[in-house]
Amino acid sequence: MKRGRLDVEVSGQRVVLVGRIDDSVTLGELAAQLPAGALVLDTAGVTFVNSIGMREWIRLTRALAARGAPVTLERVADVMMTQMNLIPELRKTVQIASFHAQYACPSCGAEATPLIDAVAHRAELRSLLPPLVPCDECASLMALADFPERYLMIFSD
């Protein structure tokens, strides 16, 4: 389905969102069109989200939470993570399994947005400690290139 500048692709219990979540998008009533039961939302293909888009995203997560079935977010886009961390209610309504974040290598200066496994690193993330990730260029350890709170607040209690 097409929602403004966002493509919504449903296969089984997996929902893949690709594009922009902006003022062209309405997501409130999307929940009613998604399959019943536990869902996985994949937003790795989301390239932009603004405050109006975020409001729609919250409408969607609220509507899904109201159905009572678990909602897991996989491969959350970097742009989604920094926005979602500003909204305390999302700590309760969604579970994040993995996400992308901006990393930089202190040795060679390379930049990347690696996928972080939030299940394997749950304990560190709850303490606002971003895991170190090997650099693709030089194999040194890369560090988060931003304040940990901007990505990890959503994992704290």
**Cβ(76)–Cβ(96) below 8 Å:** yes
Helix (H) / strand (E) element for 1: namely: none
- Could you say whether residue 132 binds Zn ion (CB under 5 A)? no
The residue within the footprint of Zn ion, chosen from 86, 108, 119, 129 (CB under 5 A), is 108
* 35/109 with CB nearer Zn ion: 109
Rounded to the nearest whole angstrom, what is the least distance from the CB of residue 132 to Zn ion in the complex? 12
Range in contact with Zn ion (rule: CB under 5 A) among 29-37, 66-74, 82-90, 135-143:
135-143
Distance CA 96, CA 121 (A): 11
Q: Give the residue, chosen from 132, 138, 147, 156, that forms a contact with Zn ion under the rule CB under 5 A.
A: 138
Looking at 47, 51, 107, 156, which residue binds Zn ion (CB under 5 A)?
107
15 in contact with Zn ion (CB under 5 A) = no
Q: Taking CB under 5 A as the rule, does residue 129 contact Zn ion?
A: no
135 binds Zn ion (CB under 5 A): yes
Contact 154, 91 (CB under 8 A): yes
β-strand partners of 122: none
Helix (H) or strand (E) holding 83, with range, is helix 78-84
Q: What are phi and psi of 127, to 5 degrees?
A: -95, 15
